[in-house]
Structure 1
């Protein structure tokens, strides 16, 4: 990959100066692909911040969050509290390095970055596989959230809503592409920030303030000793569980390929530090919708103030919490805007996932096996991959989706975190990390997290005995093991000299 470059002289000077004029000679097809996939490296700072925040939350926060709060209470907020820390970590630890990496190694995907760092096609190949697994889980999360929005609007059952939602996303993806998804993320991210503030205000009005709602919940639920726990810091969950969510969602952002990928797009490296503030503020404000709607609907439900039809929706699934509030307690115009905003945010995020997954399948995996597909082969393979992704996504959405959108989203996040956070997050900040360590950590993180989640769903006895009883979130346990493996194997294997350009990136 590095052999494509010209004018390598003064590499350090260019990197430390944050020079954006450093250019690579590439053929016309590569140039077009780069323009579409990484926006020609011309994305403004505000656009990047809004796109990264929108891609990170979307259906997970706007649909799954209120439903999770309704189910377990205040403890669910430990999934939103990491927002400020996680975005700060991503931008400070990886932001500038990923952007500079595109200048010296022509990177366009997360596996590109992995290959540039470790010079191992095996490592970049296994990273591509991990990305495909995680993206399917994340896409299932988005489609499930989309289905919960479509179902009550068009009066169709959840199963049909999943199929319709997947179809809409596929059409959108074919018509729009990655760049359309990015700019839609920007617009819808801004809309959802404003909508979150308005909806939170409506929650306070309908519930007569947070203190009244909390007191009402405690009073009604105190008979079964759940009330006080519901509004306590941990909710009805063990403290170890909620804190492990916090750990995984804070640290794990450096392994999220849809976040890492967006750093390639930014135009001005020197101003990236301000992106931390913009992205974090967006994430925190969006969290108001999670908290406000979950608390308000729970209060209205336990105090008997919800209409019977609304209670029926909640009995079907607590992920209908946002639907209940929008349908019964929000002015129709505002509700319509919020519905449109959530749907668009989900579609643009899902579009990004499909494009990244397709790139991993037709670009990164063939590269790992010393193969290069021509345009016809890429088109053919791309179509097959999209069909397979769609089928697997539908199956996951129908089987795991009803168990909780927020928890399904956490499954996808945890898979990325456990598999990729050490190799990327630590690897681009610690020159001692080796390719053997990266390979081992990706395998351990991926197998451990997916294996534990499957055991959880199947109700395996060993999982109930040795893992469930401890209360530690699977993603956190897998991430910790992956980090330990990365560090230990790095010290046990020989350190290889880094490429000069990559060394400059690490020291930038």
Structure 2
């Protein structure tokens, strides 16, 4: 067995911002985030306030929050990283995700918001218990949330360590640990009230910053024609319709798989769909989808432009590759944009990571303190006690996610797709189908969640854990059973397996199954 690393494996050549403008932007944003957290703490008096802001959010705030929790560190660090490494393959994520917002709004927005009115639901597991009237479904939903939260939170912490290094010049390890501590304090203070308003602030900043980065990146690379010519000379597949991930044939499969995962899979992301509980009323849902979709598309220009232009300049010999793929975004912003733009982008990224991670921590902690105990018949009856236990659970999840980053050498973008895949497989069948199909049954839901978790854990989480522990041979043996190229996203396979299990299981067990009476009207709207 190999020795475990004594420092994070994500190390490399991130330049340090010694510009006082950039440092001032970063410090000011952290200060604002702390103030918002303290303000949220003063307005948080119940578990409902902590988890869903007491249903007080309007159209623009809801749309911007929905967009920003999906983008976050994955889009700003993982996006340029994947584009730099594999060319146009990851663009199938960024050009597909806006469609995911539209699908999610159409199939779930009204139903989830109405459900929050007719029943006392605060979490996704609450909603699934109402729909299926099964403690097994509630408990498995809570378990799946916890597993997915750890993977997705790790994505944001992996991005956070690079941003803290870039702005403040601290070692990567202290960027990870210090950033995780700030995140934990912020989340324990403000809950979702603080997270929503930080989301709104950083969403506006990301949109403005993305436009500037796109312009500077295109100029830096000599325009799209020059970028394309340099990439074609090095490897034509880098600029082809499907990119270079895994070779020509594999890249086609990966692109299609990501198209499925990030369009349909968006409706299975609990940090997105539980946002519908927060809306002030039904009418404000109308324009949320196009606002969120357009905002995401604009912000994705950072991944597209920075990743391709940096790779083109390296291939042309204009710059030296002194950085890892994970560092492409921060390196470009620090070295090739003006101080004000760099400070704006990096500060917005700090806020994005903080607010998105806050959303993950809140839904994960609620699963630990509310969903799983209720599924086991041991609910916490006192609301204030439940709130405090929820806050305490934040610490455990933060430590676990920090450990994943510390010991894993996976790319930020890959960690992001793994977390997305966990959620999509577990929740698209039971939520999307379940809230739109009266024939869905609890047996089908149980099969779907178990099947989705099984595929993701066996072919994603377990091989990564074995690699870290020195069990390379075991990891290779497990992946030998995977029927697709290794680069083919496991999350897509798990999603399709879960859908088949859900539909098949429901069809076989429909006899005697009854939909709760008050849900008939909801599902007919």
- The TM-score, its normalising length taken from structure 1, stands at 0.88
1:498 corresponding residue in structure 2:
515
Partner of 1:433, secondary structure, is coil
Q: Which runs of 5+ in 2 are unaligned?
A: 1-42, 246-250, 468-474
2:183 corresponding residue in structure 1:
169
Quick one: which of 499, 504, 518 aligns to 1:488? 504
Indicate yes or no: 2:267 matched with 1:260: no
Q: CA deviation at 1:268?
A: 3.0
The 3 A distance-change label for structure 1 pair 383 and 36 is closer
2:398 corresponding residue in structure 1:
390
1:357 corresponding residue in structure 2:
364
Q: CA deviation at 1:168?
A: 1.3
1:78 corresponding residue in structure 2:
92
Quick one: which of 469, 479, 483 aligns to 2:485? 469
2:334 corresponding residue in structure 1:
327
1:423 corresponding residue in structure 2:
430
Indicate yes or no: 2:238 matched with 1:234: no
Deviation string 1:50-87 (CA, Å, 9 cap, x unpaired) is 00010011000011100111100011111112122100
Matches within 5 A, 1:295-334: 295-306=308-319, 311-312=321-322, 314=323, 317-334=324-341
Following the alignment from structure 2 to structure 1, what is the Cα–Cα distance between the partners of residues 184 and 481?
42
Between 1:230-239 and 1:458-467, the stretch displaced more is 458-467
1:47 corresponding residue in structure 2:
61
Deviation string 1:425-466 (CA, Å, 9 cap, x unpaired) is 110010100001101110110121121103543432241354
Following the alignment from structure 1 to structure 2, what is the Cα–Cα distance between the partners of residues 174 and 101?
27
Following the alignment from structure 1 to structure 2, what is the Cα–Cα distance between the partners of residues 176 and 437?
37
Structure whose residues are more often helix by fraction? 1
Indicate yes or no: 2:411 matched with 1:399: no
Partner of 1:264, secondary structure, is helix
RMSD over equivalenced CA pairs, Å: 1.8
The 3 A distance-change label for structure 1 pair 364 and 465 is closer
Following the alignment from structure 1 to structure 2, what is the Cα–Cα distance between the partners of residues 334 and 276?
28
Following the alignment from structure 1 to structure 2, what is the Cα–Cα distance between the partners of residues 341 and 200?
16
Between 1:56-65 and 1:368-377, the stretch displaced more is 368-377
For the 8 Å contact 2:188–2:394, the answer to whether it is kept is: no
Quick one: which of 103, 114, 117 aligns to 2:131? 117
- The TM-score, its normalising length taken from structure 2, stands at 0.86
Partner of 2:488, secondary structure, is coil
Between 1:296-305 and 1:135-144, the stretch displaced more is 296-305
Matched pairs, number: 467
For the 8 Å contact 2:47–2:386, the answer to whether it is kept is: no
1:3 corresponding residue in structure 2:
none
Deviation string 1:293-339 (CA, Å, 9 cap, x unpaired) is 10111122222222x5xx32x1xx21110111111110001100110
Following the alignment from structure 2 to structure 1, what is the Cα–Cα distance between the partners of residues 117 and 387?
27
2:15 corresponding residue in structure 1:
none
Following the alignment from structure 2 to structure 1, what is the Cα–Cα distance between the partners of residues 202 and 188?
19
Quick one: which of 439, 445, 463 aligns to 1:432? 439
Q: CA deviation at 1:498?
A: 1.3
The 3 A distance-change label for structure 1 pair 380 and 85 is closer
The 3 A distance-change label for structure 1 pair 474 and 125 is same
Between 1:95-104 and 1:156-165, the stretch displaced more is 156-165
The 3 A distance-change label for structure 1 pair 180 and 466 is closer
Deviation string 1:215-248 (CA, Å, 9 cap, x unpaired) is 02222x1xxxxx1011101111221012101111
2:229 corresponding residue in structure 1:
215
Indicate yes or no: 2:206 matched with 1:192: yes
Q: CA deviation at 1:470?
A: 6.9
For the 8 Å contact 2:47–2:383, the answer to whether it is kept is: no
Following the alignment from structure 2 to structure 1, what is the Cα–Cα distance between the partners of residues 301 and 66?
18
Following the alignment from structure 1 to structure 2, what is the Cα–Cα distance between the partners of residues 404 and 329?
23
Following the alignment from structure 1 to structure 2, what is the Cα–Cα distance between the partners of residues 142 and 30?
25
Between 1:368-377 and 1:161-170, the stretch displaced more is 368-377
Q: CA deviation at 1:174?
A: 2.1
For the 8 Å contact 2:111–2:522, the answer to whether it is kept is: yes
Partner of 1:167, secondary structure, is helix
For the 8 Å contact 2:203–2:352, the answer to whether it is kept is: yes
Following the alignment from structure 2 to structure 1, what is the Cα–Cα distance between the partners of residues 260 and 210?
25
Deviation string 1:8-35 (CA, Å, 9 cap, x unpaired) is xxxxxxxxxxxxxxxxxxxxx9983323
Following the alignment from structure 2 to structure 1, what is the Cα–Cα distance between the partners of residues 499 and 45?
36
Between 1:79-88 and 1:328-337, the stretch displaced more is 79-88
Partner of 1:432, secondary structure, is coil
Following the alignment from structure 2 to structure 1, what is the Cα–Cα distance between the partners of residues 207 and 44?
36
For the 8 Å contact 1:240–1:471, the answer to whether it is kept is: no
Deviation string 1:316-368 (CA, Å, 9 cap, x unpaired) is x2111011111111000110011000000100111111111111111111111
Partner of 2:515, secondary structure, is coil
